[in-house]
Amino acid sequence: MKPPSAETVANDEHYVIQDGKAVFRAAVDGMAKVTLNVLEAAGAKGQDVALFVPHQANLRIIEYARRKAKMKPEQVMITIDRYGNTTAATIPSSLAIAQEEGKLKKGDIVMTSTFGAGFTWGAMALRWSIDS
Protein backbone atom coordinates (compact mmCIF):
# COMPACT_ATOMS: atom_id res chain seq x y z
CA MET A 1 0.00 0.00 0.00
CA LYS A 2 1.28 3.40 -0.92
CA PRO A 3 0.39 6.57 0.92
CA PRO A 4 -1.31 9.10 -1.33
CA SER A 5 0.87 11.65 -3.03
CA ALA A 6 0.54 13.85 -6.08
CA GLU A 7 2.41 11.19 -8.06
CA THR A 8 0.27 8.20 -6.95
CA VAL A 9 -2.93 10.18 -7.56
CA ALA A 10 -1.71 11.23 -11.03
CA ASN A 11 -0.93 7.54 -11.74
CA ASP A 12 -4.47 6.47 -10.72
CA GLU A 13 -3.13 4.20 -7.97
CA HIS A 14 -5.96 4.77 -5.47
CA TYR A 15 -8.98 2.87 -6.70
CA VAL A 16 -11.03 0.44 -4.69
CA ILE A 17 -10.97 -3.00 -6.26
CA GLN A 18 -13.52 -5.60 -5.21
CA ASP A 19 -13.73 -9.29 -6.00
CA GLY A 20 -17.50 -9.62 -6.36
CA LYS A 21 -17.58 -13.41 -6.11
CA ALA A 22 -15.50 -13.44 -2.93
CA VAL A 23 -17.67 -10.71 -1.39
CA PHE A 24 -20.82 -12.66 -2.27
CA ARG A 25 -19.45 -15.86 -0.71
CA ALA A 26 -18.42 -14.02 2.43
CA ALA A 27 -21.83 -12.34 2.66
CA VAL A 28 -23.85 -15.55 2.29
CA ASP A 29 -21.66 -17.51 4.68
CA GLY A 30 -21.45 -14.73 7.27
CA MET A 31 -25.14 -13.88 7.22
CA ALA A 32 -26.19 -17.53 7.46
CA LYS A 33 -23.75 -18.26 10.30
CA VAL A 34 -24.71 -15.24 12.38
CA THR A 35 -28.41 -16.06 11.90
CA LEU A 36 -27.88 -19.63 13.11
CA ASN A 37 -25.72 -18.49 16.03
CA VAL A 38 -28.31 -16.02 17.27
CA LEU A 39 -31.16 -18.51 16.87
CA GLU A 40 -29.18 -21.01 18.92
CA ALA A 41 -28.36 -18.41 21.59
CA ALA A 42 -32.06 -17.53 21.81
CA GLY A 43 -32.99 -21.19 22.18
CA ALA A 44 -35.00 -21.03 18.97
CA LYS A 45 -35.09 -22.83 15.65
CA GLY A 46 -36.07 -21.58 12.21
CA GLN A 47 -39.59 -22.95 12.51
CA ASP A 48 -40.12 -20.86 15.69
CA VAL A 49 -39.58 -17.60 13.80
CA ALA A 50 -42.74 -15.78 12.75
CA LEU A 51 -40.83 -13.43 10.46
CA PHE A 52 -37.24 -13.33 9.22
CA VAL A 53 -36.26 -9.79 8.26
CA PRO A 54 -32.89 -9.91 6.49
CA HIS A 55 -30.82 -7.17 4.92
CA GLN A 56 -32.18 -6.69 1.41
CA ALA A 57 -29.02 -6.56 -0.70
CA ASN A 58 -29.58 -9.61 -2.86
CA LEU A 59 -32.34 -12.23 -3.12
CA ARG A 60 -29.82 -15.08 -3.49
CA ILE A 61 -28.17 -14.14 -0.19
CA ILE A 62 -31.57 -13.94 1.53
CA GLU A 63 -32.58 -17.31 0.11
CA TYR A 64 -29.34 -18.96 1.21
CA ALA A 65 -29.67 -17.65 4.79
CA ARG A 66 -33.33 -18.73 4.87
CA ARG A 67 -32.53 -22.27 3.76
CA LYS A 68 -29.61 -22.61 6.20
CA ALA A 69 -31.91 -21.56 9.06
CA LYS A 70 -34.57 -24.03 7.84
CA MET A 71 -37.24 -21.39 7.36
CA LYS A 72 -40.05 -21.47 4.81
CA PRO A 73 -40.27 -18.78 2.12
CA GLU A 74 -43.44 -17.37 3.70
CA GLN A 75 -41.48 -16.63 6.90
CA VAL A 76 -39.25 -14.12 5.09
CA MET A 77 -39.96 -10.41 4.64
CA ILE A 78 -38.91 -9.35 1.14
CA THR A 79 -38.88 -5.68 0.20
CA ILE A 80 -35.99 -5.55 -2.28
CA ASP A 81 -38.43 -6.22 -5.11
CA ARG A 82 -40.31 -3.01 -4.23
CA TYR A 83 -37.62 -0.67 -2.91
CA GLY A 84 -34.23 -2.09 -3.86
CA ASN A 85 -31.34 -2.18 -1.42
CA THR A 86 -32.07 0.60 1.05
CA THR A 87 -28.77 -0.07 2.87
CA ALA A 88 -28.91 0.83 6.58
CA ALA A 89 -32.66 1.50 6.40
CA THR A 90 -33.48 -1.99 5.15
CA ILE A 91 -34.33 -3.73 8.41
CA PRO A 92 -36.18 -0.86 10.13
CA SER A 93 -38.20 -0.05 7.01
CA SER A 94 -38.96 -3.73 6.37
CA LEU A 95 -40.18 -4.10 9.97
CA ALA A 96 -42.44 -1.05 9.54
CA ILE A 97 -43.82 -2.45 6.29
CA ALA A 98 -44.38 -5.87 7.89
CA GLN A 99 -46.30 -4.19 10.72
CA GLU A 100 -48.39 -2.17 8.25
CA GLU A 101 -49.14 -5.32 6.23
CA GLY A 102 -50.26 -7.22 9.34
CA LYS A 103 -47.40 -9.73 9.18
CA LEU A 104 -46.46 -9.23 12.85
CA LYS A 105 -48.43 -9.79 16.00
CA LYS A 106 -47.58 -9.28 19.63
CA GLY A 107 -45.49 -12.16 20.95
CA ASP A 108 -44.03 -13.20 17.58
CA ILE A 109 -40.37 -14.15 17.39
CA VAL A 110 -38.69 -11.96 14.78
CA MET A 111 -35.22 -12.67 13.43
CA THR A 112 -33.14 -9.95 11.76
CA SER A 113 -29.84 -10.50 10.00
CA THR A 114 -27.52 -8.20 8.12
CA PHE A 115 -24.08 -7.75 6.64
CA GLY A 116 -22.28 -4.66 5.51
CA ALA A 117 -19.20 -2.60 4.95
CA GLY A 118 -15.96 -3.89 6.33
CA PHE A 119 -17.22 -7.48 6.18
CA THR A 120 -19.36 -7.08 9.28
CA TRP A 121 -22.37 -9.18 10.23
CA GLY A 122 -25.06 -8.86 12.81
CA ALA A 123 -28.28 -10.55 13.80
CA MET A 124 -30.93 -10.20 16.46
CA ALA A 125 -33.80 -12.33 17.67
CA LEU A 126 -36.58 -10.40 19.35
CA ARG A 127 -40.10 -10.89 20.60
CA TRP A 128 -42.48 -8.45 18.92
CA SER A 129 -44.19 -6.33 21.56
CA ILE A 130 -46.40 -4.03 19.51
CA ASP A 131 -50.13 -4.70 19.29
CA SER A 132 -51.38 -5.06 15.73
Q: What is the CATH number of the domain that holds 101?
A: 3.40.47.10
Q: What are phi and psi of 93, to 5 degrees?
A: -70, -35
Per-residue confidence (pLDDT) for residue 42, from 0 to 100: 95
Report residue 14's pLDDT band, with 50, 70 and 90 as the boundaries: confident
Residue 3 domain-assigned?
A: no
Name the percent of the chain lying above pLDDT 90: 67
Is the pTM for the entire model greater than 0.75? yes
**Helix-strand-coil split of the chain, %, nearest 5:** 45, 15, 40
Q: Coil, strand, or helix at residue 23?
A: helix
- Identify the H or E element spanning 129: none
Residue 94 domain-assigned?
A: yes
Q: Coil, strand, or helix at residue 12?
A: coil
Residue 108 domain-assigned?
A: yes
Looking at the structure of the chain, the number of domains it has is: 1
Per-residue confidence (pLDDT) for residue 13, from 0 to 100: 85
Q: What are phi and psi of 21, to 5 degrees?
A: -65, -40
Residue 43 domain-assigned?
A: yes
CA quadruple 99, 84, 81, 122: dihedral positive or negative?
Answer: negative
Strand pairing class (109-116; 51-54): parallel
